[in-house]
Structure 1
Amino acid sequence: MGSKLKIVTIGGGSSYTPELLEGFLKRYRELPVTELWLVDVEEGQEKLDIIHALCERMIKKAGVPMQVFKTLDRRAALQGADFVTTQLRVGQLKAREKDERIPLSHGYLGQETNGAGGLFKGLRTIPVILDIVNDVQEICPNAWIINFTNPAGMVTEAIYRHTNFKRFIGVCNIPIGMKMFITDVLQLTPQDELKVDLFGLNHLVFIRDVVVNGESRFDELLEGIASGTLSANSVRNITDLAFNEGLIRSLRLIPCSYLLYYFKPKEMLAIEMGEYYKGGTRAQVVQKVEQQLFELYKNPDLNVKPKELELRGGAYYSDAACEVINAIHNNKHTEHYVNIPHTGHIDNIPSDWCIEITCTLGHDGAQPTPRITHFDEQVLGLIYTIKGFEVAASQAAISGNFNDVQLALNLSPLIHSDNDAELLAREMLLAHEKWLPNFAATLKDLNVSGEK
């Protein structure tokens, strides 16, 4: 790749960008990024300006020869890029608020990566990511796209199912959070070798084994979580409820926090409904946190990532993204947890699925660990169900067809009525009309029928 290393971050005005830059600065000797380009859209211009100024101050303080640029011209930024990171939110946080509040208004879970909310985030996001992939294929075809835009599993599925681009890797902070939880609980040091066998789908992963210095420590972790002496919740944006002891012991797997939406849907809905009636959904909380963060970012004396960013809920994204880039660029053959097509590596699921799994990363991308070639049968039904939802959602995002949206909603285990699926499809399509150009014909029909 030569001595110059150019990284383009699409969604550069995100409040997460200072953490991403911090990750690059920490690794500068190993990963000498010479150019970082921050790309955003017109609606994000003010935030982009603030983030760019803070990044310049952080680089100056670090004393490294890195340049940071800002632009609204994505195609210009992509010229000569080695890596492209995507961290965008189509419709910004106001759209997320609708994703949460509209389902809740009808008595359904409102969440940005699951159920109706997750579907509509995917419907807005997938066409934009597809456009980015098309630009990369034309302008910098040898670049890798490292995506941490949610819903990451659905987005990765759409790219591999509907394009021929092979240099796309989906990244999530949940596995990193789980790994850090394990490191803390087992009181490991940087000298300890930790291997985590993790498998499933994005936001639907299970840990099967934890090996420290060649010895399995899984049983003691499982016992702690089953007995309730340990909490495996590694994210701020999900209520910390304990999984039932019998469930953990019978599964003999450690589930990620997002599995609460499937194993405790009644309890999670009750909590979210309470927040909804108090006017405090997660999107509204995040908007307040964002406002406070950008006030901090404006301070001309601030030249480091502020600790308050940890309240935003996406901690460790930078470590995940930077380490993936580092492993590919330097051909490190180190282990990471990413979303990729498994191409037949797992013997009891369709060969064309994209999954989230422990992988070894190097110049050629990600290879699933040989330690996992089979998904545990007791969770296979749930995995099949959610993958069916993801596949249908990616099809709907591309077709812009109302029936495809209904199908995806009906396939989600969080939607319990086909009539409600139709109601949610209509209301949410109309609510997000501005951000769904693919659905222009469908929306025209919906608007006409609504006027009758």
Structure 2
Amino acid sequence: MKLTVVGGGSTYTPELIDGFARLRDTLPVEELVLVDPAAERLELVGGLARRIFARQGHPGRIVTTHDLDAGVEGADAVLLQLRVGGQAAREMDETWPLECGCVGQETTGAGGLAKALRTVPVVLDIAERVRRANPDAWIIDFTNPVGIVTRALLQAGHKAVGLCNVAIGFQRKFAALLGVSPTDVHLDHVGLNHLTWETGVRLGGPTGEDVLPRLLAEHGGAVAEDLRLPRTLVERLGVVPSYYLRYFYAHDEVVRELRTKPSRAAEVAEMERRLLAMYGDPALDEKPELLAKRGGAYYSEAAVDLAAALLGGGGSPYQVVNTHNRGTLPFLPDDAVIEVQAAIGAKGPAPLPVPSVDPLHAGLVANVTAYEDLALDAALRGGRDRVFRALLAHPLVGQYALADALTDQLIAHNREHLAWA
């Protein structure tokens, strides 16, 4: 089995490598190719990756290359974890929207749209080259904004599934609070990428006992603290929202916070500098503790589980993924990309039935889906008016004067990445 990671020079990669090494019985990788144009980073990450495999006795071969076509040749699955423009572009995504009084964040709002516009054309080019190299290869997208990127891939006819670590993070946290194994916890997870709610927490599988009311009654304080939302709000909702919902439920509060502290991009850039220095130490043969603060917790477990199920080697029968709606949420178009539990097999994900969604959640999901339609149109065809329409549709913007100002800022800060600008 050959797997390729595009964006293999990311500081995330040792987390992924550690998972491949530990879970080799689930996903027996014989060749792992790390592709990245940043030669220096790739050398550091590749060296640590080989040492991790050696320490854990993994017999697989790790190859590093800047040649995408060579890297994807013959791959059974290709994982995408790239960041167009790097942390410098992320820094802009997180700062210029604040000047207009809007949340600065790399996956939602104006910053999220900027990232989508930079990313979609690059990902589609990569996907076409994967298809030419091996039309049967699966593409697993971890690149944000996952929902829009996955929809672009599926719309272009690629064998693609979107992956996020939010659900597996909740699964692990809830299991710890309940004192059970993570494999015993099945989430009723519904929504869009970075816009989801846990509407049930079941023990033993999709038809198991729903212990969400007990979880909130006994551990509501801990859950709310992690979300940085009031416990009273979580209890009134009766569900557990993704922590990304804080950008919607407490927008102005978040803007005030973001204006008074360094951006997350600046923090991550410094963290990456330290991590890369560690990766260059030839004595280091395991992922450092600092990597846990980088983000992407449990990404490796989720990626291994999904790849194994898609490639017929095992993996959990039910997993939370991003895939076509296909009638699962009747208030959305069939070709919308939703994030829900699905049965995973060699033919891809098949979403499980979802109970009726509370109008409080369904309304926001429908609104953001409409925005994603417009965002993808802007990413594919360009043009100031398409960018403006997408921003006007976004519930975190929604006013014409704001949308106009943000459109000008977005184009000015991303001109080098926008072929049409």
Instruction: Compute the TM-score of the two structures, normalised by the length of structure 1.
Output: 0.89
Among residues 219, 228, 233, which one is paired with 1:241 in the alignment?
A: 228
Among residues 32, 42, 48, which one is paired with 1:36 in the alignment?
A: 32
Matched, 1:289 2:271: yes
SS at match of 1:374: coil
Among residues 353, 358, 382, which one is paired with 1:400 in the alignment?
A: 382
- Write the mapping of 1:1-16 to structure 2, written as runs, cut at 5 A: 5-16=1-12
> What do residues 290-349 of structure 1 show as CA deviations (whole Å, max 9, x unaligned)?
111111111110011111100102211111111111122225561111100021233332
> Does the CA-based 8 Å contact 2:271-2:294 persist in structure 1?
yes
Aligned residue in 2 for 1:360: 343
**Offset, 1:273:** 1.3
Among residues 151, 163, 169, which one is paired with 1:171 in the alignment?
A: 163
SS at match of 2:223: coil
Among residues 97, 115, 124, which one is paired with 1:121 in the alignment?
A: 115
The gaps in structure 2 that reach 5 residues or longer are none
Among residues 237, 244, 248, which one is paired with 1:258 in the alignment?
A: 244
Q: Which deviates the most, 148-157 or 374-383?
A: 374-383
RMSD: 1.6
**Offset, 1:388:** 1.0
Instruction: Compute the TM-score of the two structures, normalised by the length of structure 2.
Output: 0.95
Q: Counterparts of 1:107 and 1:202 in 2: how far apart (Å)?
A: 24
Aligned residue in 1 for 2:304: 322
**Offset, 1:244:** 5.5
> What do residues 364-421 of structure 1 show as CA deviations (whole Å, max 9, x unaligned)?
1111123x15333221111111111111111100101111001111111111531222
Among residues 249, 260, 269, which one is paired with 2:255 in the alignment?
A: 269
Q: Counterparts of 1:129 and 1:376 in 2: how far apart (Å)?
A: 34
**Offset, 1:283:** 0.6
SS at match of 1:339: strand
Matched, 1:309 2:291: yes
Among residues 167, 184, 187, which one is paired with 1:193 in the alignment?
A: 184
Q: Counterparts of 2:363 and 2:230 in 1: how far apart (Å)?
A: 19
> What do residues 266-308 of structure 1 show as CA deviations (whole Å, max 9, x unaligned)?
1111111112xxxx11110111111111111111100111111
Aligned residue in 2 for 1:100: 94
Q: Counterparts of 1:318 and 1:233 in 2: how far apart (Å)?
A: 25
SS at match of 1:405: helix
Q: Structure 1 residues 345 and 415, CA, compared in 2 at 3 Å: closer, same or farther?
A: closer
SS at match of 2:350: strand
Matched, 1:209 2:203: no
Matched, 1:378 2:374: no
Q: Counterparts of 1:189 and 1:352 in 2: how far apart (Å)?
A: 35
Q: Structure 1 residues 313 and 232, CA, compared in 2 at 3 Å: closer, same or farther?
A: farther
Q: Counterparts of 1:324 and 1:96 in 2: how far apart (Å)?
A: 28
Matched, 1:182 2:174: yes
Q: Counterparts of 1:7 and 1:53 in 2: how far apart (Å)?
A: 18
How many residues are aligned here? 417
SS at match of 2:318: strand
> Does the CA-based 8 Å contact 2:26-2:305 persist in structure 1?
no
Q: Structure 1 residues 249 and 353, CA, compared in 2 at 3 Å: closer, same or farther?
A: same
SS at match of 2:349: strand
> What do residues 407-443 of structure 1 show as CA deviations (whole Å, max 9, x unaligned)?
1111111115312222221222122222222x2xxx2
Q: Percent identity?
A: 37
